[in-house]
Homo-oligomer: A and B are copies of this chain.
Amino acid sequence: MVTITDVARAAGVSRSTASYAFSGRRTISTVVRDRVAAAAHDLGYTPNAGARALKTSRTHVIGLLAQFLPDEFAPAMLQYMLGVSDTARDLGYDILLAIDDDGVGALRRLTSSRMVDGVVLLNVAEDDPRLPALRAAHQPGALVGLPRDCRGVDVFDLDFAEAGRLMVDRLVRQGHREILLVSQSEDVVARGGAYVWRHQEGALERAARHGVQLTCVFGASAQPEIGHQLDRLLTDHPGVTALMLNNEAAAAALPGVLGGRGLRVPEDLSVVGRYSRELAETFALPFSAVESAPDVLGRMAVEQLVRRIERRGPDEPHTVRLVAPTLVDRGSIGPPPTP
């Protein structure tokens, strides 16, 4: 491996001069700088990341803590990861990926060994056990997902309460009076996925205000259970004219269920979901949906994290940013059928 010593020798200067020639932190004559650059190029020199990190205590690596839980929709998580990864690359950072059942352990390992300059936590739960560990580590962290206690971290999430309101408003405006909301599985809620509650409460609040009937159920997260469940729900609630889905697996299963029952959308049933544009395209999900914007959230988290890393600003106040939901119209919302 070629080191800066080799470059310095080839250029006939001292190591420190070579270093300054690269960093430009002191004035170096142009002839020397060119000679150093030429030598580096000829020898194929790249600085050793470990050595540099040791001295500067900056690794230019961001830890990405993801978790793939059995009752969650893996491809949705992927979208967040891609958003984070792309942004990091744009800002000159690499991603150390920790997909670990033991998220706390992984977090501690990365931070305490100084492998990373900061971390992004995905899928943060109401009382996420990783948060105390993050606060103990003296490294900045950005979250995707809204915990109860946001002290000391930057937080980004979709405004799920507003999403619930938006979906109900939209359906009621079309004339629907009996709506069924299928949320994520109860396990997700039990694990602290408070966004399910926030969404549901936003929806219930608006339903009450409009005086319409909103039935809330937790949906299964696996196939084919969720399909059977949807079928059963449609049988049990014949008066329902609109379906709200806060559950990707349900959205994926619904076309098959509708086909089986011979129902057309939106003529027989209106449907509004909550998933990303990417997901809709990959799986041909034909429903209007609130955009969950994983790429945007991932990007915001990384940008804020890098700002905090580079501007050394643990003092600067921390952010909690809830992104306003937008509804992507795919034509699955219409007036209720006339009986």
Q: Which chain A residues have a beta carbon within 8 Å of chain B's beta carbons?
A: 1, 44, 46-51, 53-54, 59, 61, 64, 68, 73-75, 78, 81-82, 85-86, 89, 94-100, 108-110, 112-115, 138, 222-224, 227, 249, 252-253, 255-256, 259-260, 278, 281-284
- Beta-carbon nearest neighbor of A260 in chain B: B259
Contact in complex: B95, A96 (CB < 8 Å): yes
Nearest CB of B to A286, in Å: 8
Among all A-B residue pairs, the 4 with the closest Cβ atoms: A223-B284, A259-B259, A50-B53, A46-B112
Distance in angstroms between the alpha carbons of A215 and B196 in the assembled complex:
48
Cβ of A81: which chain B residues have Cβ within 8 Å of it? 97
* Known contacts A82-B68, A98-B94, A256-B255: A281-B50 contact under CB 8 Å: no
Query: Chain B's nearest CB lies how many Å from the CB of A221?
Result: 10
Query: With A223-B282, A282-B223 in contact, is A85–B114 under 8 Å at CB?
Result: no
Knowing A113-B46, A115-B49 touch, does A282 contact B75 (C-beta < 8 A)? yes
Q: Is the CB of B224 within 8 A of A48?
A: no
Q: Which residues of B contact A46 (CB under 8 A)?
A: 108-109, 112-113
A59 to B94, CA, bound (A): 15
A60 to nearest B CB, angstroms? 9
A283 to B250, CA, bound (A): 10
**Cβ–Cβ contact A252 & B78, under 8 A:** no
Beyond A75-B75, A99-B82, A255-B256, whether A50 also contacts B59 by CB under 8 A is yes
Neighbouring B residues of A96 by C-beta, 8 Å: 61, 94-97
Given A256-B284, A283-B252, A284-B256, check contact A99 B86 (CB 8 Å): yes
In whole angstroms, how far apart are the Cα atoms of A256 and B44 in the complex?
55
Q: Are A97 and B100 in contact (CB under 8 A)?
A: no
Question: CA of A129 to CA of B255 in the docked complex: distance in angstroms?
Answer: 41
- The distance in angstroms between the C-alpha atoms of A109 and B93, with both chains bound, is 11
- Quick check: A97 and B284 within 8 Å, CB to CB? no
Known: A50-B51, A94-B98. A224 touches B284 (CB 8 A): yes
Is there an interface contact between A112 and B51, defined as CB atoms closer than 8 Å?
A: no
Give CA–CA (A249, B82) in the complex, Å.
20
User: Which B residues touch A114, using CB under 8 A?
Assistant: 1, 48-50
A-B contacts besides A49-B114, A68-B82, A223-B283, 19 pairs, CB < 8 Å: A1-B114, A1-B138, A44-B112, A49-B50, A49-B115, A50-B51, A54-B54, A61-B96, A74-B278, A81-B97, A85-B99, A94-B96, A94-B110, A94-B115, A96-B96, A223-B282, A227-B284, A256-B256, A259-B260
Task: Report how far A259 CA is from B44 CA in the complex, Å.
Answer: 59
Q: Which residues of B contact A86 (CB under 8 A)?
A: 99
Residue of B nearest to A284 (CB): B223
Ordered by A's residue number, 10 sampled pairs between the chains whose C-beta atoms are within 8 Å are A46-B108, A48-B54, A48-B113, A50-B53, A54-B54, A64-B97, A82-B99, A89-B99, A223-B283, A259-B259
Query: Cβ of A138: which chain B residues have Cβ within 8 Å of it?
Result: 1
**A260–B260 CA distance with the chains assembled, in angstroms:** 10
